[in-house]
Amino acid sequence: MIHVFAFYLFAVLTIASGAITILARNPVHSVLWLILAFFNAAGLMVLVGAEFIAMLLVIVYVGAVAVLFLFVVMMLDIDFAELRAGFIKNFPLGMLIALVLLAEIVLGIGAYKAGAMHLGTPDGTAITAPGVSNIAAIGQLLYGRYLFLFEASGLVLLVAMIGAIVLTHRQRPDSRGQNIARQNARRPDEATINMKPEIGKGMTL
């Protein structure tokens, strides 16, 4: 009883907050609704027994990606009139994209129902054996059977990271960076000089 209730609660909240993400006028509100959608999706993951994926969803998407997203959106100077100005012009393109996405979903569900692939079968045979925890099962697959694919995806991420750094990094030769080791090694007797200038002579440092 309680899991049916929980499923409908999470499912309705996921869809509703996803819809409001699109409909909200204020982009910051949109991001916050998106976070709620992520969170409820994590709840759904827990319900199907994928607690590891659920926690990762919260840690990665809610904890890191959405924070940066919010960070950027908050700092945008948004003119709402300008946002709505191109609505009619871009409407056909938007509808086209929506139709393509809808067709993909319909195709995907149709293929799944036809039972051509046996990845996650509807009768639940893909669920791991009881007693094996999520983490152990995923670990055995990732670091055993799919080791090379896993490492390759790591390489792809590395390339993306280096690319981002190369694109945004600029050398500034005139900026004087801190040398922390030198600062820490500095002692008061090096930093101050005690001098006794003679009267009327002045001094040079």
Partner 1 sequence: MTAFFQSLGMSFEWAWTIATICGILLIALPLMLGVAMIIYADRKIWAAMALRRGPNVVGPFGLLQSFADGLKVFLQETIIPSAANKGIFLIAPIVTFTVALLAWAVIPFNSGAVLADINVGLLYVLAISSLGVYGTVMAGWASNSKYPFFSAMRASAQMISYEVSIGFILICVVLWANSFNLNDIVLAQKGAGLGFVNGFWFNILLFPMWVMFLISGMAETGRAPFDLTEAESELVAGFQTEYSSMSFALYWLGEYANVLLMCALNATLFFGGWLPPFEIPFLYWIPGFVWLLLKILFFFFIFSWVKATVPRYRYDQLMRLGWKVFLPVSLGFVVLVSGWLMFTRYGA
Assess contact for 18 and 37: CB atoms under 8 A. yes
Site membership for partner 1, residue 62 (CB under 8 A) = yes
List, as own/partner pairs, every contact residues 66-73 make where C-beta atoms lie below 8 angstroms and the sequence separation is at least 24, other chains included: 66/31, 66/34, 66/35, 66/38, 69/31, 69/34, 70/28, 70/31, 70/32, 70/35, 73/27, 73/28, 73/30, 73/31
188: which residues sit within 8 A by CB, 6+ positions away?
none
Report helix, strand or coil for 8.
helix
Site membership for partner 1, residue 165 (CB under 8 A) = no
Distance CA 6, CA 174 (A): 59
> Contact region for partner 1 (CB under 8 A) — 14-22, 62-70, 141-149, 162-170?
62-70
Among 16, 70, 138, 142, binds partner 1 (CB under 8 A): 70
> Contact region for partner 1 (CB under 8 A) — 11-19, 24-32, 95-103, 193-201?
24-32
> Contact region for partner 1 (CB under 8 A) — 50-58, 85-93, 140-148, 159-167?
50-58
Kindly state the smallest distance separating residue 6's Cβ from partner 1, in Å: 12
> Contact region for partner 1 (CB under 8 A) — 82-90, 117-125, 132-140, 184-192?
132-140
Q: Which residue has the tokens 């609704």?
A: 33
Amino acid identity, position 3: H
Site membership for partner 1, residue 7 (CB under 8 A) = no
Among residues 91 and 143, whose Cβ is nearest to partner 1?
A: 143
Kindly state the smallest distance separating residue 195's Cβ from partner 1, in Å: 31
Distance CA 146, CA 157 (A): 17
Q: Which positions touch partner 1 (CB under 8 A)? A: 1-2, 26, 28-29, 32, 35, 51-52, 55-56, 58-59, 62-64, 67-68, 70-71, 74-75, 133-135, 178, 180
